[in-house]
Structures are given as structure tokens and as C-alpha cells.
Amino acid sequence: MTSKYSAFSVLREGLRGQSGWCKAWRSPKPKAAYDVVIIGAGGHGLATAYYLAKNHGITNVAVIEKSWLGGGNTGRNTTVIRSNYYYPASSALYGLSMKLYKNLSKELNYNVMFSQRGMLVLAHSEPEMEMAARNVNAMQLNGADAILMDVADVRKKAPLLNFSKDARFPIHGAVWQGSAGTGRHDAVAWGYARAASALGVDIIQNCEVTEFIKEAGRVCGVETTLGPIRADAVGAAVAGHSSVLAKLAGFKLPITSYALQAFVTEAMKPVMDTVAFSPAYGTYFSQSDKGGLVIGGALDRVPSYGQKGNLPIQEAVLSGLVEMAPVLAKVKLLRHWAGIVDVTPDSSPVIGPSGIDGLYVNCGWGTGGFKAIPAGGYLFAHLLANGTHHEFSRPFDKDRFVTGRLIDEGAASGIAH
């Protein structure tokens, strides 16, 4: 059987009708007890299991998933990976993620197609250019590879955009992060699942948590649709449903769930080589390797657990896109969908103890959890293994809502309103 992926193994399997490939991951029945149970086999949950096994030697781990692995926001996002952040705490977190992403395909032996094609954040006026400079300086001081581009440089990177001076929001320049880009979202989940499974982690799909097993106020396992599973520590990484699980366990979170929509067009030959985001037009897009434009924008206005799109936001996002690149008016939308995202008051994630002994949470990634998968898993594994924070996750503990030490990237750019 062939378990290692390489050009050679693909060649060999091609010669024998692809008959020798192993299962990418095992599908075992749950054991009665594990050292650690992780709820949610999305990117963060699977990465956590992988790093628990790899970095901390904890392999007696189960990842339980109510549906299919990678089926939440990991499989629904617009795949942007970046670390162009203002605050040092954010920069450290997402910088770690970029570093891990960079080597992830080789590390997992699974091509996650991290494509460092660069990202433009457009500025549409001189005051926006000043703000862009403030942000670029912060990023450079934080160690990120951001630069400030003038309009001529932007045109070279993305000639498709609307460079008319009469545009509603004329382009004045952009913040460019060259190492940013996109990844193949499913492959990230599958790659972590395969690597974790190979290290002994049990991934149990179609298994829903119905209750927490508590003894003397401490969580020591979960009741599931496949029976009770005990654990020394339980970690929840269930983006979109964190509040539901919190209610089940009996603690509160500062989270509101919203639908975030994404869009993809029909495939075309390459027309857009980078990711471009315009805060003013309220939209961003890139072109997938398959050729479709992948488009995202603002959250829906109405708190929601309904995983479907809503016409007003579609019109707002796609109108912004056509204004940003008018030639796209004639390109056809193929599909749109929505994921449920956990939004915190400062739009930064929550990683840390839940407030109930034995139970830890990784949630609140809002619209940007995909890019943080490796770091989220890495730091959450550290927390679950040691019971204490890694220095990078410490600022993201939910105690920041008590101390007031919010990490509000939106507010940093002066958007107090």
C-alpha cells in the first residue's frame, strides 16, 4: 500500500491503476476514554490534534465531528492567508500561522497549495494613504513584509482594477503584503486529518456532542450520539456554534453569530494574479487555480445560524466588485454560499480556558479563521497539553473583556464609528 505522497508514488500508482493508495485517514469507532477530546473536526480542531501528537507527544486524542471533517467554515471560506496586522499580538499570532503555512505541504506531505501571490489592500484617498502608511509602518515594525504601493505599482499587480480617476473610489495606492496569498481550504483540513490520523489520533465523524460529563464542577468527557467519551481535557473548536456548545457546558461567551457569504464565478483563464481588497468598496477577490474568481465581503446584517446567503449583501458585495473592476460585469456568478462565523466585540479570537475546569475554547475567529488554522492549532495544543497559555495566545484569553485589553484591529485604523 502507498501511504507517502510524492511525484514518484503518483507515477507508480498511475502504472497500477491507482489501486494501492491507503485511506487518507482512518475512521475508527470511539474508545471509551482519551487523554484529550477535541470537539470539531474543522481546520482548527484537526490542527490541534496534529500538534498535540507531534509537538507534545499526546496521541491518545479523539477529534469528534457532528458532520463531515472540514465541513464548517474551513470548507466555506475564501482561502485568504495573510498576516498584515496592526497590533503586535495579532501580528505574532498570524505571523506564526504564515510561518507554519509556508512549510505545511512538506510537513504534512499533502499539497495545501499555499500560493504566496501577494495581497493588496487598496487606499482610495490621501487620508486613506496616510492611514495605510500608519498600518504599513506597524506591520514592518511587527516584522511583516508589508510595503506601501503607489498607484503605478498597484496597476502592475492588478491591471484588472478600476484605475479611472472618475471611479467612485479612485485608487491612490495600496498596502501590499507579498507573502500573503491563498491556500486550498479542503486540503488544509484533509492534510491535517491525514497527518493526525497517522500519528494515532482518532477522527470520529458523524458524532455529535449532546452533553458534557461533569464531575465536581469539572468537565471530564462528553456524551455523544455514539455514546460517552471520557477525557482528561476537552477542547472545543466549533466555529459558528461556539455559543451553542457554551450553553450546553454552562458558560458564557462574548460572541454573536452571523452568516458570512462567499461567491465564486465560472472559471476563466488567469486575469488576476493577486488578492485585492478594497475596504471602501466592501469587497475582495482572488482567482483560484481552477480559474474562478473567489469573492468575499461584509457580514450579513442579521445575526444568523442559517447557512444560506441573503440577497441584499450579495448585491452590496457584487456591486462593489463590479465598481472595483468593471469588466467583471459580464463574468458569471456560479455559486454562492454562507458560513456561520463567531464574531467577538473586538473581532479577535478567543483562545483559553472556558471558565469551567477541564474545558478549553478556541473560537471567535470571525471572518478570518482559515488563515489562522496552523497557529490556532499550535497554540490550542499548547494550552491543552500544559493547561497554560503559550505567550502568543495569552493576549487572546477571554479575560481581556474584563480588563478592557481588547485587540481591535478595526478600531486601530481609526474606525471608532
Partner 1 sequence: MSGTRLTSGGLIDRARRIDFTFDGRAMQGYAGDTLASALLANGTRIVGRSFKYHRPRGVWGGWFDEPNAIFSVKTPRGSLPNVLGTTTALTPGMEIKSVNAWPNARFDVKGALDLFNPWLKAGFYYKTFMKPDWHLFEPMIRKMAGLGALEPDLIEGYTSDQVHATCDLLVVGGGAAGLAAAEGAARQGKNVWLVEDHAALGGGLYRMGGTIEGLAPADWVTARKAAIENAGGRILTHTTAFGVFDHNLYGLAQQSALDVAPTLYRLRAKDCLLASGAIDRPVTFANNDLPGIMSLEAGIEYLGRYGVLFGKAIAIAANHSQTASAAARLRDAGAAVSLFDPANGDLSATGRRRVTSLRQGGRAEAVDCVLASAGWTPVLHLWRHAGGKLRWDDTLATFVPAQAPKGMAAIGAANGIFDLDQALAEARACATGEPYSPSPPRFNLTPTLPKPGAKGRQWIDFQHDVTLDDIALAERENYVSVEHLKRYTTLGMASDQGKISNIPGLAAMAALTGKTIPEVGTTTFRPPFVPLPLSLYHGPHSGQNFHPLKRLALEKLHRSSGAALGEYGGWLRPAWYGNQPGPDAAQSEARMVRAAGGILDASPLGKIEVMGPDAEAFVNFVYYNTMKTLKPGALRYGFLLTEKGVVFDDGVVFRMGPKRFVISSSSSHAEGVTGLLESWRQDGNDPDRVFVHDTTNHWSTVTVTGPKARNVTRSLGLDIDLSAEAFPHMTFRETSWNDVPLRIARVSFTGEVSFEVSIPASKVEALWTAITDAGEPFGVSPIGIEALSILRAEKGFIIIGKDTDGETMPHDLGFTLPRQKKSTAFVGDRGLHTEVANEPDRRQFVGLSVTGDAPLPTGAHLVEGADRRSFGIVTSSYISPNLNRPIALGLVERGAERMGETVTLFHLGKTYEATLTSPVAFDPDGARIHA
Partner 2 sequence: MQLFPCPFCGLRSEGEFHFAAEAGKTRPVTTRDVNAEEWAAYLFDQKNEKGATREVWTHLPCAEMFIMSRDSVTMEVLGTQTLRKLPA
Residue 344 near residue 90 (C-beta atoms within 8 A): no
Distance in Å, CB of 310 to partner 2, minimum:
7
Question: Which listed residue (74, 142, 283, 304) binds partner 2 by CB under 8 A?
Answer: 304
Which window, 28-36, 167-175, 307-315, 386-394, contacts partner 2 (CB under 8 A)? 307-315
Tell which residue, 7, 44, 25, 64, has the closest CA to residue 205. 64
Interaction partner, residue 305 (partner 2, partner 1, none; CB < 5-8 Å by kind): partner 2
Nearer to partner 1, 33 or 167 (CB): 167
Single residue of 217, 403, 416, 417 touching partner 2 by CB under 8 A: 403
CB of 328 to partner 1, least distance (A): 5
The listed partner (partner 2, partner 1, none) that binds 278, CB under 5 to 8 Å by sort, is none
Provide DSSP, 162-183: ---TTSSS---EEEEETT-EE-
3-state DSSP assignment of residue 214: strand
Question: 374, 227 in Cβ contact below 8 A?
Answer: no
> Considering CB distances under 5 to 8 angstroms, the limit depending on partner class, which of partner 1, partner 2, none binds residue 166?
partner 1
**311 binds partner 2 per the rule CB under 8 A:** yes
3-state secondary structure of 64: strand
213 vs 271, beta carbon nearer partner 1:
271
> What residues contact 258, with CB distance under 8 A and at least 6 apart?
299, 300, 302, 303, 304, 340, 341, 343
Binding partner selected for residue 241 from partner 1, partner 2, none, CB under the kind-specific 5 to 8 Å limit = partner 2
79 binds, among partner 1, partner 2, none (CB under 5 to 8 A by kind): none
Which one of partner 2, partner 1, none is in contact with 205 (Cβ closer than 5 to 8 A by kind)?
partner 1
**Closest separation in Å from C-beta 256 to partner 1:** 16
**Binds 101: which of partner 2, partner 1, none (CB < 5-8 Å by kind):** none
Of 218 and 301, the one with the shorter C-beta distance to partner 2 is: 301
Under 8 Å between Cβ of 350 and 396: yes
| Helix (H) or strand (E) run with residue 219 in it | strand 218-224
Sign of the torsion angle spanned by Cα atoms 86, 91, 97, 102: positive
Q: Which is nearer to partner 1, 166 or 216 (CB)?
A: 166
Specify which residues 64 forms β-bridges with: 39, 204
Partner that binds at residue 318, options partner 1, partner 2, none, CB closer than 5 to 8 Å by kind:
partner 1
Point out which span in 66-74, 134-142, 304-312, 389-397 binds partner 2 (CB under 8 A): 304-312
Distance (Å, whole) CA 13 – CA 21? 8
Considering the rule CB under 8 A, would residue 410 count as an interface residue with partner 2? no
CB of 242 to partner 2, least distance (A): 8
220 vs 253, beta carbon nearer partner 2: 253
**Is 6 strand, coil or helix?**
coil
Residue 254 contacts which entry, partner 2, partner 1, none (Cβ below 5-8 A, type-dependent): partner 2
Provide φ and ψ at 405, rounded to 5°. -80, 65
Rounded-to-integer distance, Cα 254 and Cα 252, Å: 7
CB 236 within 8 A of CB 40: yes
Residue from the set 401, 408, 411, 412 that interacts with partner 2 by CB under 8 A: 401
User: Which residues pair with residue 86 across a beta bridge?
Assistant: none
Task: Name the CA dihedral angle for 398, 401, 405, 407, rounded to a multiple of 10 degrees.
Answer: 70
Taking the least distance from each CB to partner 2, the nearer of 69 and 253 is 253
Q: What gap in Å lies between CA 320 and CA 313, rounded to an integer?
A: 10
Residue in the block written with cell 457554551: 246
Does 347 contact partner 2 by CB under 8 A?
no
Among partner 2, partner 1, none, what binds residue 161 when CB lies within 5 to 8 Å by partner kind?
none
8 Å CB contact between 87 and 409: yes
Work out whether 345 is an interface residue with partner 2 (CB under 8 A).
yes
Is position 60 an interface residue for partner 2 (rule: CB under 8 A)? Answer: no
Find the binding residues for partner 2 in span 218-277 (CB under 8 A). Answer: 241, 243-244, 247, 252-257
Question: In sequence order, what are the beta bridge partners of 275?
Answer: 119
- Give the Cα separation of 69 and 235 in Å (integer): 16
Please give the residue ranges that form the binding site for partner 2 (CB under 8 A).
Answer: 241, 243-244, 247, 252-257, 301-306, 310-312, 345, 401-403
